[in-house]
């Protein structure tokens, strides 16, 4: 059974009297452990697709399943619980909580998990994870005191700390220079290989596509191409920090 | 400290100027409530003390039928003093009792003429019952003498001093016009402006004989022992007098001074109004702060939702911030309010600066002192906190219900 299953998924936004279709009958399966890029021009439905998989939105038609659970049948609290337990997010603008330190930002995701009676990671492990993403010694800095690349590493640690089933990254390199972008991609690839975490990106960035093992192309809300690449075809992570 | 509390505290610190303004406004309301309540209670207490100590005593005994006509100060029906005073003083719970003969008159001093209230007193009994004698500049009139002491404000108005002679015109019980030539032996300067403004005190026997009601009084004022229930004491005195064969009605000061009691009740309503104003200030302040905060943190809220925070938990976070603001306000309000109230209790406030000789309905003049009333602190604190939480709820819920996907769009 695939980790993510989309069957005939459509999503239409209403802007006043105007109906804007974002996705039109998308069928897609993503297996656990994949490192997948969703690509396509602006307005093709990439972010909408990610939002549907990430339980941030519900489809107008069709079925979305995550780990076998049909998401459209769940209420808002149940969707929030799935997000806190099974999904990690990485955003283009990093979206760290500005008043919390790097370590506290990571602990925040963990604190939410603990409220559900789950999550056994301790403070030292958060520090270790931050070191693993290359932020040793920067744990107590606030986002405003970190570079864009460092902030994105904190976001990656925040996404991974709860050992999610899937990490959804929306244009994760868009606000980074190429050097930092590459480092971040290598880090995520390393985490994918080391931890087996599933990564799904939406991106315009050719470098992300270069690293991906599967590239799903959207156009006008439809999947127009689905290319799987051999592991060797993608650059191998040379470093983790 | 749990992470959510840390987050709430830092969010408040993040916009510290706004936080200070918000809790400052609420704290100001709390201080205002504490001080206004303290002064009003002080004013009420002083009014009651001044009324009881200088005019009415705790209980008043009248002849049957007098009470309904008391505004006109009639000379009859009156009470026999000698027989009654000892009966009253014999009742358990009565600390002191004194007869008074009260009548309307006009005071003439040279070309000036002024309406006054004549009060016939037995100085010795009166000094044990009321406190007029403690505030006499000069001396009390002697029994049987054509002497009087008059209210200090009246004396100043008519430019009368001790040793001066004045003429009092009034009517006897039979309706005959009576003019009394009396020498002023003392001025009465009490904290009760009614007494100072229009009371003229003569010896009871002098006045009684002049008005053709010798040995009679229109009222016997009674002071109760400490802790006595006035209603209960009034009942006992009434029963005792009835058993002794004397027809008399006994009233508590509250029954005799319904206007003042009504004014005090109005004050309770005004207290409620003050609380309502404070609640409104707090509501607007906190709602505005939460709304602004929610707008500014739109993406942050979206991120929290993406991380799996439930809407209720986001509402909880905003409420935590609102309650923390409320706690700051309550703390500051209590500290400033207590300090300012300590000053009011110790030094008081001179209300003559505001009202002068104006009759504002309360029998007080000069300095009004505040009182400590812990319940007001509790009420103000609770009102501040509850209002903060209530005011934050709707903006917080609105913030929490935002479409996370929309808020996360770059």
Residues B43, B68 within the same domain = no
A25 in a structural domain: no
Phi, psi (rounded to 5 degrees) for A96: -80, 155
* Burial degree of A120 (CB within 10 A; 0-12, 13-18, 19+): exposed
Residues B217, B95 within the same domain = yes
List the structure tokens of A145.
Answer: 């005191």
pLDDT at B356: 61
pLDDT at A142 > cutoff 50: yes
State the best of A59, A97, A106 to mutate against chain B, taking most chain B CBs within 10 Å.
Answer: A97
Indicate the pLDDT class of residue A12, thresholds 50, 70 and 90: very high
A237 in a structural domain: no
Residues B300, B334 within the same domain = yes
- The most distant pair of C-alpha atoms in chain B lies apart, rounded to whole Å, by 100
Whether B408 contacts chain A with CB within 8 A: yes
Contact B308 A51 (CB under 8 A): no
Say how many domains are in chain B.
Answer: 2
Residues B203, B342 within the same domain = no
* CA distance to B60, B126, B193, per residue, from B55 (Å): 10, 11, 11
Range of the domain at B137: 64-247
State the best of B308, B397, B403, B405 to mutate against chain A, taking most chain A CBs within 10 Å.
Answer: B308
Domain boundary among B181, B216, B247: B247
Residues B221, B289 within the same domain = no
Check residue A78 and report its DSSP letter. Answer: H
Indicate the pLDDT class of residue A238, thresholds 50, 70 and 90: very low
Domain boundary among B196, B218, B247: B247
Helices and strands, counts by H and E, chain A: 7, 10
A102 in a structural domain: yes
Contact B308 A109 (CB under 8 A): yes
pLDDT at B351: 76
A183 in a structural domain: yes
B255 in a structural domain: no
Regions of chain B with pLDDT less than 50: none
Whether B311 contacts chain A with CB within 8 A: yes
B56 in a structural domain: no
pLDDT at A240: 39
Residues B359, B386 within the same domain = yes
C-beta separation of B299 from A96 below 8 A: no
Say how many domains are in chain A.
Answer: 1
What is the Cα gyration radius of chain A? 17
A26 in a structural domain: no
Q: How far apart are CA B408 and CA B392, in angstroms?
A: 23
Which of A121, A25, A11, A180 has its CA nearest to residue B403? A11
pLDDT at A134 > cutoff 50: yes
B235 in a structural domain: yes
A72 in a structural domain: no
Contact A104 B6 (CB under 8 A): yes
pLDDT at A241 > cutoff 50: no
Indicate the pLDDT class of residue A233, thresholds 50, 70 and 90: low
pLDDT, tens digit, for every residue of B126-135?
Answer: 888 999 999 9
Residues B115, B236 within the same domain = yes
pLDDT at B219: 94
Range of the domain at A207: 33-55+83-231
Which residues, 6 or more positions from B389, have their beta carbon under 8 angstroms from its beta carbon?
B319, B322, B323, B326
Mean pLDDT in residue range A179-184: 85
pLDDT at A237 > cutoff 60: no
A12 in a structural domain: no
| Alpha-carbon torsion (B183, B188, B193, B194), positive or negative | negative
> CA of A47, closest CA in chain B: separation in Å?
9
List the structure tokens of B212.
Answer: 């053709």
Nearest beta carbon to residue B3 from set A82, A98, A107? A107
pLDDT at A234 > cutoff 60: no
Contact A76 B308 (CB under 8 A): no
B253 in a structural domain: no
Q: How far apart are CA A103 and CA A145, in angstroms?
A: 13
B57 in a structural domain: no
List the structure tokens of B117.
Answer: 């209230």
Nearest beta carbon to residue B307 from set A57, A83, A99? A83
B347 in a structural domain: yes
pLDDT at B386: 87
List the structure tokens of B374.
Answer: 């812990």
List the structure tokens of B310.
Answer: 């439930």
Residues B120, B30 within the same domain = no
Measured between beta carbons, which residues in chain A are less than 8 angstroms from residue B402? none
C-beta separation of B364 from B46 below 8 A: yes
Q: How far apart are CA A70 and CA A47, in angstroms?
A: 20
pLDDT at A239 > cutoff 60: no
B159 in a structural domain: yes
Q: Find the CATH number of the domain harbouring A208.
A: 3.40.50.300
* Burial degree of A1 (CB within 10 A; 0-12, 13-18, 19+): exposed
Nearest beta carbon to residue B310 from set A47, A80, A96? A80
Measured between beta carbons, which residues in chain B are less than 8 angstroms from residue A76? 310-311
A134 in a structural domain: yes
B58 in a structural domain: no
SS3 of chain B: the string is CCHHHHHHHHHHHHCHHHHHHHHHHHHHHHHHHHHHHHHHHHHHHHHHHHHHHHHHCCEEEECCCCHHHHHHCCCCCCEEHHHHHHHHHCCCCEEEEEEEEEEEEEEEECCEEEEEEEEEECHHHHHHHCCHHHHEEECCCCCCCCEEEEEHHHHHHCCCCCCCEEEEEEECCCCCEEEEEEEEEEEECCCCHHHHHHEEEEEHHHHHHHCCCCCEECEEEEEECCCCCHHHHHHHHHHHHHHCCCCCEEEEHHHHCHHHHHHHHHHHHHHHHHHHHHHHHHHHHHHHHHHHHHHHCHHHHHHHHHCCCCHHHHHHHHHHHHHHHHHHHHHHHHHHHHHHHHHHHHCCEECHHHHCCCCCCCCCCCEECCCCCHHHHHHHHHHHHHHHHHHHHHHHHHHHCCCHHHHHCC
Residues B69, B171 within the same domain = yes
């Amino acid at each position: 059974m695939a980790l993510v299953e989309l069957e005939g998924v459509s999503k239409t936004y209403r802007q006043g009297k105007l109906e804007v279709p974002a996705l039109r009958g998308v069928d897609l399966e993503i297996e656990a452990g994949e490192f997948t890029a969703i690509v396509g021009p602006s307005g093709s439905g990439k972010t909408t697709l990610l939002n549907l998989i990430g339980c941030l939105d519900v489809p107008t038609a069709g079925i979305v399943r995550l780990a076998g659970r049909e998401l459209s049948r769940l209420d808002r609290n149940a969707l929030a619980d799935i997000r806190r337990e099974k999904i990690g997010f990485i955003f283009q603008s990093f979206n760290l909580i500005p008043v919390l330190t790097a370590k506290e930002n990571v602990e925040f995701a963990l604190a939410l998990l603990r409220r559900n009676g789950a999550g056994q990671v301790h403070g030292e492990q958060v520090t270790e994870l931050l070191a693993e993403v290359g932020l040793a010694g920067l744990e107590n800095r606030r986002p405003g005191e970190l570079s864009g690349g460092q902030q994105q590493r904190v976001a990656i640690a925040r996404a991974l700390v709860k050992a999610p089933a899937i990490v959804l990254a929306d244009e994760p390199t868009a606000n980074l220079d190429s050097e930092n972008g590459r480092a971040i991609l290598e880090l995520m690839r390393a985490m994918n290989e080391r931890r087996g975490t599933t990564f799904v990106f939406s991106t315009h960035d050719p470098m992300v596509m270069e690293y991906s093992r599967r590239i799903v192309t959207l156009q006008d809300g439809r999947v127009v191409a689905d290319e799987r690449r051999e592991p060797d075809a993608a650059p191998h992570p040379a470093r983790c920090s | 400290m749990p992470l959510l509390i840390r987050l709430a505290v830092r969010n408040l610190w993040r916009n510290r100027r706004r936080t200070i303004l918000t809790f400052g406004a609420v704290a100001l309301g709390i201080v205002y409530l504490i001080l206004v309540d303290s002064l009003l209670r002080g004013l009420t207490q002083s009014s009651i003390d001044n009324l009881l100590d200088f005019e009415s005593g705790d209980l008043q005994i009248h002849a049957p039928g007098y009470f309904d006509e008391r505004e006109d100060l009639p000379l009859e029906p009156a009470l026999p003093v000698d027989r009654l005073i000892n009966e009253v003083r014999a009742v358990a719970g009565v600390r002191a009792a004194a007869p008074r003969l009260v009548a309307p008159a006009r005071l003439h001093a040279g070309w000036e003429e002024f309406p006054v209230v004549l009060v016939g007193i037995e100085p010795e009994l009166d000094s044990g019952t009321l406190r007029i004698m403690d505030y006499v500049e000069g001396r009390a009139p002697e029994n049987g003498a054509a002497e009087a002491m008059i209210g200090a404000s009246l004396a100043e108005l008519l430019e009368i001093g001790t040793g001066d002679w004045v003429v009092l015109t009034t009517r006897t019980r039979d309706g005959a016009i009576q003019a009394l030539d009396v020498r002023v032996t003392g001025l009465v300067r009490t904290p009760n402006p009614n007494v100072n403004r229009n009371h003229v005190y003569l010896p009871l026997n002098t006045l009684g004989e002049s008005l053709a009601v010798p040995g009679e009084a229109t009222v016997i004022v009674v002071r109760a022992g400490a802790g006595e229930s006035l209603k209960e004491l009034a009942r006992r005195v009434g029963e005792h007098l009835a058993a002794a064969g004397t027809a008399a009605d006994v009233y508590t000061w509250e029954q005799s001074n319904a206007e003042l009691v009504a004014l005090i009740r109005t004050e309770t309503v005004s207290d409620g109004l003050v609380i309502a104003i404070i609640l409104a200030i707090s509501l607007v302040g906190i709602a505005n702060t939460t709304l602004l905060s929610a707008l500014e943190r739109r993406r942050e809220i979206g991120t929290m939702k993406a991380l799996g925070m439930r809407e209720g938990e986001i509402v909880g976070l905003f409420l935590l911030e609102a309650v923390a603001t409320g706690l700051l306000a309550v703390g500051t309000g209590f500290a400033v309010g207590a300090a300012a109230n300590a000053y009011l209790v110790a030094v008081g406030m001179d209300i003559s600066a505001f009202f002068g000789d104006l009759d504002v309905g309360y029998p007080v003049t000069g300095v009004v002192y505040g009182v400590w009333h812990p319940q007001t602190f509790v009420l103000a604190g609770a009102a501040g906190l509850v209002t903060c939480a209530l005011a934050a709820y709707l903006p917080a819920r609105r913030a929490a219900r935002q479409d996370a996907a929309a808020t996360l769009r770059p």
